Structure 1
């Protein structure tokens, strides 16, 4: 046990809280410093007029990752919240209001695929079996590698597994070896949007996401995703972690190539160890002296970042019978919207978007007889963001939503709040307003990501969605654990 080391964790997202709890469990004196008023990072919650809105994550996939983390502290998921499997897991809406409901039962999904394309049922079984293998390996020993260098993956077994995982093959090409129908292709490719890159630039390894979504299923933590953030804070505090909110750090103080503390306007916070889980680029560019940065500004300018997002949090003064819990609106061109994000960054002409209505499953997140509605449109980072643009796209999305629902919605809105690029920058110091972190492209996977350990400062480590394993809640939970274990190895 280590009793004398004072560790500071900068940022209270899932990576920060996971890392903090593990460090405290192993005897460190840990303080989490957070600029916002509550924990959770992008998984924060706000409540207003009887509505409880999850601000970011809403898809609960890979339940075993959460379970593994809770088991580390002697708990199970059921100790904290009821996990409900959704049926349908989600719906995809194509042109002419064609709806593809994705059943909870995998054999029913196979039947659905066969109805779109002869032979697709058996092909799906093979595709998902391949994805299951990738999930077992990719989310097993391999994902817990700190990825300091390629040498970690040169162990005979891991190297063999890496080849089978298709790390260097394109996801787009991999999917097209199995399916031809454009609707099935859209369904299979949508999970990589969570990884922040085009399917052609995403490793085929990420068919493990299809296994998670179609075979494991889509879940919902009753009470909302914010229950997960509350659980992580509770576990951390039980280990002795202290949380300091509304504290905006202005600089990291270095002496003899070591962090000695963090400074804000009024206070100095001494540290023997610093785990940075706030935006990696912000820590490097804005908090560290130039001489102690691992990466120059030009490095971040050349990275492929996941998109930003335009989000609307809406309270609806009636029930909406036509919506599912998760609704993906794919009536427009996926390729064109992707082009407007990655190739020619601009506000999209005909965007795809996502509508989440958690009150269809959980009545506690909205007043009686009302609906809690969350709209999200992926958007290129670094664009101009204004109230007039937000409103223009609000009308566009609502018109399509009302057409699908077959009923008026706008006139029944009794609560409305928007969130976009400027908010991501202001609330999270997110580089150019990105929403999901660094994209998991072929050239930004594993040891090709920004390193977890500073190359210039001996006691500075990083975790979160800009380093390994990547974006998404389960990967960031794992990221915090990896970083904590690396710190403990360093101290021992």
Structure 2
């Protein structure tokens, strides 16, 4: 009989882990509380519109492509990617916006037009970022994060200084650029990492390489097409997917989980992988006294932002918008302080607006627009209907001022999603949307472990463990834990820090 495994949670990390374990010969069951897979990347339809609920940026397409290749497939047989051009636009005011073309030569021209010499500086900046990206992908990202010894190899040691782990992103960026508009463009990818650019290591300039060199892509039909591709591959790999199944608790005897109590009865397996919220599994699903970490440990974790999202359907086409739109009119530092320093609702937030109907006519009825607004917020904030309406009016006013036309009167569908929804739908710790902050003190082996310290058949995957938050890291996280589990079938467990 083959070994059996249960994966809790049908997000991308759970799907990745399930597929990878099936390839290693496990009989895998994946349990998902919702009526569809995807986790934060679920989809819903209303009033003729189709809304991706979470991720909308598609960077690092090679991660998913390599995953499918490792399983003897081509991702091109499962979905179609389109590179966006321009990649996105950044809006600094009603009459000032910068579009970032997909061509690097054209992008250099844009930078040069804003700040003389910045085109050449961008090339130098991205040369360094390319080294960080490629080194991170080959030497850091796929480590299980169980011991500092993982970083004690030649490639890691040789790369340490060039990876810029001890310099802040803010200081690093200002060595290359002076114009505040360019600095906002360069710093925007780290807005969701869980700290201000002054506190994020310069290592994360590798995200600029992913953005400006590897490109911004869109899966035709929507981001959920990536989930559909992974779900289809899971079923082709023999994974049994149980939807509408909530895990309510774990039974433990000695050093093993002996069963999962679910809304559809008890399930058992040789190996359990939790792709659910790590804190929820650790503090709620496990019996008292069996947690991997203490309450105090979790309270000391620094979280990446939560967010306030609006899904809006508009009964007309709207000018001046592109697929991705970053509204950076107001003070970045003031908004960042409201997220990271003194958590509170921001007074004048920056926000992101995705309008996928500019690229894809299947996501909205003919002649209409599909709008997805996102405001980064501190995790754990109390949100009320009044607060949600206040910020909806704010983003609509800003968008109307930029587009030069009324939008509010033509809204035919509206739904909001915030901290309390992340808790209700995903049991998300403090209502987080993105996981742990990517600070130096929460990197690699300093993240929550992929395995339980004393329960030998319980493992973890997802955004609160290695390698971190985001769509590509989620895919990698599932691979990392599956590879580790597979190795443990033929070797002893290492000591856990």
Give the CA deviation at 1:242.
0.8
CA–CA distance in structure 1, aligned partners of residues 125 and 408 of structure 2: 41
Match in the other structure for 1:27: 25
C-alpha separation in 2, matches of 1:357 and 1:266: 39
CA distance in 1, matches of 2:409, 2:71: 48
Contact 1:24 1:30 in 2 (8 A): yes
Tell me the SS of whatever aligns to 2:416. Answer: strand
Residue in 2 that maps onto 1:311: 309
Match in the other structure for 1:122: 120
Number of the residue aligned with 2:152: 154
Deviation at 1:265, TM superposition (A): 4.7
Counterpart residue number, 1:230: 228
Distance 1:200 1:488 in 2: 40
Mapped to 1, the partners of 2:96 and 2:263 lie a distance apart of: 56
Structure 2 contact 11–39 (Cα < 8 Å) conserved: yes
CA distance in 1, matches of 2:78, 2:6: 26
| 1:365 alignment partner, SS class | coil
Q: Distance in 2 between matches of 1:13 and 1:433?
A: 17
Contact persistence 2:139–2:155 (CA under 8 A) = no
Following superposition of structure 1 onto structure 2, how do residues 70-469 of structure 1 map, counting pairs within 5 Å? 70-265=68-263, 267-469=265-467
Q: Which whole-Å deviations, capped at 9, do the CAs of 1:320-376 have from their partners, x for residues lacking one?
A: 121000000000111000111111111110000000000000001111111111000
SS of residue paired to 2:138: coil
**Aligned-partner Cα distance in 1 for 2:167–2:143:** 21
Unaligned segments of structure 1, at least 5 residues = none
Question: Retained in 2: the 8 A contact 1:195–1:472?
Answer: no
Q: Give the total of aligned pairs.
A: 490
CA distance in 2, matches of 1:485, 1:141: 16
Query: Given that residues 170 and 202 in structure 1 are in contact (C-alpha distance below 8 angstroms), is that contact kept between their aligned partners in structure 2?
Result: yes
Tell me which moved more, 223-232 or 293-302: 293-302
Q: CA RMSD in A?
A: 1.1
Conserved 8 A contact 1:194-1:471: no
| Mapped partners of 1:269, 1:223: distance in 2 | 35
Q: Structure 1 residue 195: deviation in Å?
A: 2.1
- Deviation of 1:264 after TM superposition, in Å, equals 2.6
Deviation of 1:95 (Å)? 2.8
**Helix, strand or coil: the match of 1:84?**
strand
Q: Deviations over 1:404-436 (max 9, x none)?
A: 111111111111111111110000000111111
1:169 Cα shift? 2.2
SS in 2 for 1:129: helix
TM-score (norm 2): 0.97
Residue 482 of structure 1, CA deviation: 0.3
Tell me how far apart the structure 2 counterparts of residues 471 and 48 of structure 1 sit (CA, whole Å).
28
Secondary structure, aligned partner of 2:442: coil
Counterpart of 2:34 in 1: which secondary structure?
A: coil
Aligned to 1:54: 52
Unmatched 5+ stretches in structure 2? 491-497
Against the structure 1 CA distance between its residues 299 and 85, is the aligned structure 2 distance closer, same or farther, given a 3 Å change threshold? same
